[in-house]
Amino acid sequence: MPLMDEFAKSGSTGRSGGTNQMWRHKVRPREIGEFAVIRFISPFANPEGVTTPKNLLADESYFVYHMGQHPNGKRFTNYVYCADLNQDSNGHVVEPSKCQCQLLGYDDPPCYVDGKPSRNSNGTPDGFNSPAKQRYHYWVLHYYTFHLSQNPVVDSNHPDHSAPWAVSRRESGEVDVWEEVKVGNRTFYRESVMRPHLLEMARPTRESLRTYATKYGDITNRVYEYHKQQDSSGRGFINYQILISDIEVPKLGKDRVQAVIDTLPRLDRIASNQIQGLELEPFVAEDKEVNKKAMEKATESLPDVTEGAEESSANDPFETMGNTDSKDLESF
């Protein structure tokens, strides 16, 4: 499975279990109109002549689309890692014999032959009915998610209050009340996340990110919003948009953030299911007795990391941990 090395070349997830389950470490706005505030840790791709640590380099892998179904009957699109197509210079990253297709009704790997889905013993594609497609994986620092309603874990009137995942979080003590805030003329409930998270995107979303990479050269020195939207065609398609944000975010301190970045696993190993669980602690442990405003401003005891930010290297994407100021933006 290839890691992103774009500038140097020519051209499902179940919801169950404990806090280390992978779905809990992904940026996933639930409702249409919600959005996350993030800063990229992974560069858009590896610029030629620049060495990016392997654990930060973004991933591009082929996946097979397969329809899944939750225990409650709700259907969803499951993404099955395609071992047949994901190869690096040494061959298969994951051996085809371990391909998940076997678990979905196929007699033998590979999942795909010449870009077309293999057939199982009765001659049907068994849910695989389109060409394999690439999905992209980036590490981001997830500051906030702006929700349209209060946390269903604590809101007894929310339709998801009795959902298994909400019950599990209450039982584990995760009973955060999200702060009600205004963004423009809209009201949101702001969840403070303050963790590195995994951002998955399809090609159309990544192409919108490409515009910022082309314009600014480095996507890691700005704060972005990741919006879940529904198109206006009337067919109800869901899409995601990335926009530059002016929402204020806290400065967390270069040394603390860099220490966590150094421990992040490689994205290709996550995409290929070689890593199925993570423990990612927040950068700022939330104290319920502390004024909520502390999450919006830098703590005075933390170092001022804005000085010398222009000297930051590709291996040190968090030299500055607040929003890029207007002067910096004008210099690009």
Q: Each residue of 202-239: pLDDT tens digit?
A: 999 999 999 999 998 889 999 999 999 987 766 678 88
What's the pLDDT band for 176 if we cut at 50, 70, 90? confident
pLDDT of 201 reads 93
Give me the mean pLDDT over the 112-137 stretch. 62
Beta 116-117 vs 112-113: how paired, if at all?
A: antiparallel
Three-class DSSP category at 195: strand
- Residue 308 scores a pLDDT above 60: no
Burial code (b: 16+ CB inside 10 Å, e: under 16) for 23-46 equals: ebbebbbeeeebbbbbbbbbbbbb
Tokens matching residue 46: 């590896």
- Residue 295 scores a pLDDT above 50: no
DSSP state of 6: G
pLDDT of 35 reads 96
pLDDT of 120 reads 53
- Residue 24 scores a pLDDT above 90: no
pTM over 0.95, yes/no: no
Question: CA–CA separation, 22 vs 267, rounded Å?
Answer: 12
pLDDT of 81 reads 82
- Structure-model confidence comparison of residues 130 and 71, the more confident one: 71
Q: What is the pLDDT of residues 86-116, one digit of tens each?
A: 877 777 777 666 666 555 555 555 566 565 6
- Structure-model confidence comparison of residues 131 and 309, the more confident one: 131
Question: CA–CA separation, 190 vs 188, rounded Å?
Answer: 6
Share of the chain residues as helix, strand and coil, in percent rounded to the nearest 5: 20, 25, 55
Tokens matching residue 223: 């704060």
Give, in order, the Cα–Cα distances in Å from 56 to each of 71, 101, 217: 35, 29, 17
DSSP string, 263-294: TPPPHHHHHTTS--B-----SS---TTS-GGG
Question: CA–CA separation, 137 vs 267, rounded Å?
Answer: 7
| Contact between 239 and 32 (Cβ < 8 Å) | no
- Residue 5 scores a pLDDT above 50: yes
Ranges 63-72, 110-119, 139-148, 309-318, most confident: 139-148
Q: What are phi and psi of 221, to 5 degrees?
A: -105, 20
pLDDT of 18 reads 56
pLDDT of 136 reads 94
Three-class DSSP category at 64: strand
pLDDT of 281 reads 75
State the CB neighbour count (10 A cutoff) for residue 175. 12
Handedness of CA 139, 144, 150, 156 (dihedral sign): positive
- Residue 285 scores a pLDDT above 60: no
- Residue 57 scores a pLDDT above 80: yes
| Contact between 76 and 30 (Cβ < 8 Å) | no
Question: CA–CA separation, 23 vs 21, rounded Å?
Answer: 6
| Contact between 192 and 286 (Cβ < 8 Å) | yes
What's the pLDDT band for 254 if we cut at 50, 70, 90? confident
H/E stretch holding 5 reads none
Give me the mean pLDDT over the 128-154 stretch. 87
Look-up of token digits 């197509």: 85
- Residue 75 scores a pLDDT above 80: no
- Structure-model confidence comparison of residues 131 and 10, the more confident one: 131
pLDDT of 323 reads 64
Lowest mean pLDDT across 28-32, 115-119, 327-331: 327-331
